[in-house]
Amino acid sequence: EVQLVESGGGLVQPGRSRRLSCAASGFVFPDYAMHWVRQAPGKGLEWVSGISWNSGRIDYADSVMGRFTVSRDNAKNSLYLQMNSLRPEDTALYYCAKDFGMVRGVILGQFEFWGQGTLVTVSS
Amino acid sequence: DIQMTQSPSSLSASVGDRVTITCQASQDITNYLNWYQQKPGKAPKLLIYDASSLETGVPSRFSGSGSGTDFTFTISSLQPEDIATYYCQQFDNLPYTFGQGTRLEI
């Protein structure tokens, strides 16, 4: 059974940093692209970032470009999101999601499995 | 960015009803469209991929159709457990974008 467990959320002041983690199990994590998708309270879904299986391709939404950095450690079956210069509008539930693509294939941008999310609140 | 517009934003229906949600893309996305179900307090779940393919394990009362800019999501016979918000999502171009969601109530 695929499991994605996010952690690292919490209350953070504007301008500060936070690092989110996603622990994966139930599939061969090193073989698949991964994503971060967020959802502001009571709002819709917004794709944040994606990373290929080998970190050779990384994409970001314009809203986080230059502030957020996605990375992965395939030896630890883990995905990360380093969030710097946080703003109140970054307040959201952050989900990690497995891409629907082929083994060691290109990023498709389809979100096959999702974690339960970790809440980041940016407020003074 | 490709804008995805869902209609309606909310919908009330009865058990056994046929329910249809539409999604319009601001440009041609071929069939690069997915549908997700999000139940209250839960993570989204992929139901339909590539506009019309049913994800493994998803009941056959769910279906999708369309191509280009106009897409349709249908529940053939609404069940109580289908209460959720449904989202379309395009993956033709970066950034991947979602519709605003359709909240389905019974």
d(CA B100, CA B87): 7
- Minimal Cβ distance to A45: which of B87, B91, B94: B87
- Mean pLDDT of chain A, nearest integer: 96
B24 Rama class: left (phi>0) / alpha (psi -120 to 50) / beta: beta
Q: What is the pLDDT of residues B47-104, one digit of tens each?
A: 999 999 999 999 999 999 999 999 999 999 999 999 999 999 999 999 999 999 999 9
Tell me how crowded residue B3 is: count the other CB atoms within 10 A of its CB: 12
Residues 6+ apart with CB under 8 A from B26: B2, B3, B4, B5, B69
pLDDT digits (tens, 9 = 90+) for A14-50: 999 999 999 999 999 999 999 999 999 999 999 999 9
Token pair of A94, please? 């952050």
What pLDDT shows up at residue A106?
85
Is A114 in the B-facing interface, judged by CB distances under 8 Å?
Answer: yes
Q: Does A95 touch chain B (CB under 8 A)?
A: yes
- In chain B, DSSP finds a helix count (H) and a strand count (E) of 0, 11
Top residue of B2, B96, B102 to mutate, by most chain A CBs within 10 Å, is B96
Query: Is A3 an 8 Å CB contact of chain B?
Result: no
pLDDT < 70: residue spans in chain A: none
Q: Which of residues 15-44 of A touch B (CB under 8 A)?
A: 37, 44
Provide φ and ψ at A116, rounded to 5°. -90, -10
> Which pLDDT belongs to residue A21?
98
Candidate from A62, A111, A116 with C-beta closest to B95:
A62
